[in-house]
Amino acid sequence: MILGIDEAGRGPVIGPLVLCGVWLTARAERDLVELGVQDSKAFGSGEAARARRAELAAEVRRLARCVLVLSADAAEVDRRVGAGQLNMMEQELARAVIEHGPGARRIVADGARLFGPLRKDHPNLEALNHADAAVPAVAAASIVAKDRRDHLLRAILAPLEQELGLPIAGGGYVNRGTEAFLRTFVERFGVLPGEVRHTWSWQVLDELGRDPAAGLPLWVSRSDNKTRQK
């Protein structure tokens, strides 16, 4: 049994950070590779990419021994960034995934510097750069994490699209689409929308008036296929 760990949403200025752990048997790894599982970034952006990731995320959940997903909202990310603890927060999420799952002979996490400190308590953990491109279990975790973030961001932005009467582009990342949305929102309502990370270094936030918010607790969602064999 191998446990792959990866996150989605470290870089965006809007929305949550999501971390996922996926437990796979060797057979499940092979099956997922045949189905086309690879690093979530390889699918690009846009509706077709989101749809493909959603399809593969469903296959991962079907074939995995266990899938565990944790998320930190923008306020929690702001709180931890303000304390200089963003890496620590991700390590805590990864540690919770490891300790609340069914156990694994091998653990692989994406990010040598980020997750390397976890080896102190988990000597069977390998922290590797670009593991999502090399290890199927980590690629599976990256897809589920990204798919979950896509759904969470959609839930955040859909009501705002209705309020503004126009589609929101940019995916919450630091780009022209997100900038246009934020400027339109502030022009209409006078404040930045919720789920904006006020601690992010971006001139647009300075111009529009950032206001760091208090942190909120994490939430967890889980699916566990207990009938599958290790």
Give the CATH number of the domain where residue 73 resides: 3.30.420.10
Domain containing residue 11: 2-150+215-224
Confidence of residue 82 (pLDDT cuts 50, 70, 90): confident
Domain for residue 76, yes or no?
yes
Task: Tell me: do 27 and 119 sit in the same domain.
Answer: yes
Q: Backbone phi, then psi, for 195, in 5-degree steps?
A: 70, 15
Examine the domain organization and report whether 200 and 98 are in the same domain.
no
Specify if 24 maps to a domain.
yes
193: which 2 tokens?
Answer: 């929308």
Cβ pair 205, 192 in contact under 8 A: yes
Query: Is 202 a residue whose pLDDT tops 50?
Result: yes
pLDDT of 63 reads 97
Residue 28, pLDDT above cutoff 50: yes
Higher pLDDT, 75 or 225: 75
What gap in Å lies between CA 21 and CA 67, rounded to an integer? Answer: 6
Mean pLDDT of 183-205: 90
Number of structural domains (the chain) is: 2
Whether residue 83 is found in the same domain as residue 128: yes
Confidence (pTM): 0.87
Same domain? For 26 and 117 the reply is: yes
Structure tokens at 177: 């689409």
Which runs of E-coded beta strand occur in the chain?
2-8, 17-24, 66-72, 106-110, 125-128, 219-224
Are 139 and 158 members of one domain?
Answer: no
Is 54 domain-assigned? yes
Residue 193 included in any domain: yes
CATH assignment of the domain containing 164: 1.10.10
Residue 61 shares a structural domain with residue 20: yes
Rounded Cα distance between 17 and 22, Å, is 17
Same domain for 121 and 187?
no
Is residue 219 scored above 50 in pLDDT? no
Mean pLDDT within 99-114 = 94
With respect to residue 230, please indicate whether it lies within any of the assigned structural domains: no
Based on the domain organization, do 83 and 171 belong to the same domain? no
21 and 35 part of one domain: yes
Same domain, 129 and 170: no
Rounded CA separation 104/57 (Å): 21
Three-class DSSP category at 14: strand
188 and 104 belong to one structural domain? no
In this predicted structure, what is the pLDDT of residue 213? 44
Which residues are 224's β-sheet partners?
66
Cα gap 156→183, rounded to integer Å: 17
Whether 126 is in a domain gets the answer: yes
* 229: in domain: no
Task: Please indicate whether residue 44 or residue 181 has the higher confidence score (pLDDT).
Answer: 181
Residue at 41 is within a domain: yes
Question: What is the Cβ-side half-sphere exposure of residue 215, based on CA atoms within 13 angstroms?
Answer: 17
The two counts, helices (H) then strands (E), for the chain are: 9, 6
173 and 107, same structural domain?
Answer: no
